[in-house]
Amino acid sequence: MDLIQQIFKTPKPIIGVVHLLPLPTSPRWSGNLKTVIERAEREATALAAGGVDGIIVENFFDAPFTKGTVDPAVVSAMTILVEKLMNLVTLPIGINVLRNDAHSGLAIASCVGAQFIRVNVLTGVMATDQGLIEGQAHQLLRYRRELGSEVKIFADVLVKHAQALESTNLTHAVKDTIERGLADAVIISGWATGSPPVLEDLEIAKIAAAETPVFIGSGANWDNIATLLPSADGVIVANSLKRHGQIDQPIDPLRVSQFVEAARSIKPSGC
């Protein structure tokens, strides 16, 4: 995959997630951005030391999320945080502004030089706990052109914690996301955070995506990665890298190393 080699310089990249502590204006905001920065720097350092190939930064602990544009204070805080992480580690970095503020993610990434963003709903309409979220591929792709940006768009297909408003099958959803939404890569997840995708869904998505990279978006661990990764082009991993595998805990460097070792030990198909 040209895109994967271009960004990650390796086949089958492992992307670790930095879940930011609550940011300004979120219900659990502590009032101290320095604490958020210090935690994020420790997480990024642990991921880099453990051998991941990339990092994605999310405002995960800002829940409950808005379905639309986040507050400008969140954009400002994430810009500061991502720039600091880019100066700390040499890995490619991506951004996901939850729940679906792709415009802010693209703006931040373009300004600081991050390589990609994750977009939960790029096309179609999804019923979520934030309400109905409509894909805005039309506006996002034009905004990228206006910015003169080369930031890549990694788009979820039938994203977790959501239900498609209209009946659709995975093949059509993948094709629409790529052919009509112009996604640079697609992401297949389980039904919720920490839940792995069904192997058959990965296989279907891989066929439908053709030359477009397909990433595992949730639930990967060192027990199932040997089964899942051969049917994907990379993996985004969070929960299983945390202390005791708990989402609210910090990154555990030992668990990062164990996951990376398990993923790297997978033999290519046909071997």
15-26: per-residue pLDDT in tens? 999 999 999 999
* Average pLDDT rounded to a whole number, residues 215-219: 95
Q: Which two tokens stand for residue 103?
A: 């415009």
**Other beta carbons less than 10 A from residue 251's beta carbon:** 24
Closest CA to 223 of 247, 248, 259, 255: 259
Is a pLDDT exceeding 80 seen at residue 99? yes
Closest CA to 260 of 232, 240, 244, 246: 240
pTM confidence score? 0.94
193-214: per-residue pLDDT in tens? 778 999 999 999 999 999 999 9
Whole-angstrom distance, CA of residue 216 vs CA of residue 160: 12
- 154 and 187 in contact (C-beta within 8 Å)? yes
* Average pLDDT rounded to a whole number, residues 55-74: 96
- 128 and 156 in contact (C-beta within 8 Å)? no
Tell which wins on pLDDT, 271 or 99: 99
- 55 and 22 in contact (C-beta within 8 Å)? no
Whole-angstrom distance, CA of residue 262 vs CA of residue 214: 19
* Average pLDDT rounded to a whole number, residues 37-53: 97
b/e code 108-132 from CB counts within 10 Å (16+ = b): bbbebebbbbbbbbbbbebebebee
Distances (CA, A) of 197 to 93, 120, 239: 23, 15, 14
234 backbone dihedrals φ, ψ, rounded to 5°: 175, 175
DSSP secondary structure letters along 101-139: -HHHHHHHHHHHT--EEEES-SSSEEEETTEEEE--HHH
Is a pLDDT exceeding 60 seen at residue 270? no
Is a pLDDT exceeding 80 seen at residue 244? yes
219: Cβ contacts below 8 Å, ≥ 6 apart: 189, 190, 194, 195, 196, 197, 239
125 backbone dihedrals φ, ψ, rounded to 5°: -130, 130
Q: If 0-12 CB within 10 Å is exposed, 13-18 middle and 19+ buried, where does residue 103 land?
A: buried
Report the residue count for the chain: 271
Average pLDDT, the chain: 94
267: Cβ contacts below 8 Å, ≥ 6 apart: none
Q: Are strands 152-156 and 185-188 parallel, antiparallel or unpaired?
A: parallel
Is a pLDDT exceeding 50 seen at residue 271? no
Per the listing, tokens 């890569």 go with 185
Tell which wins on pLDDT, 130 or 42: 42
Whole-angstrom distance, CA of residue 100 vs CA of residue 242: 24
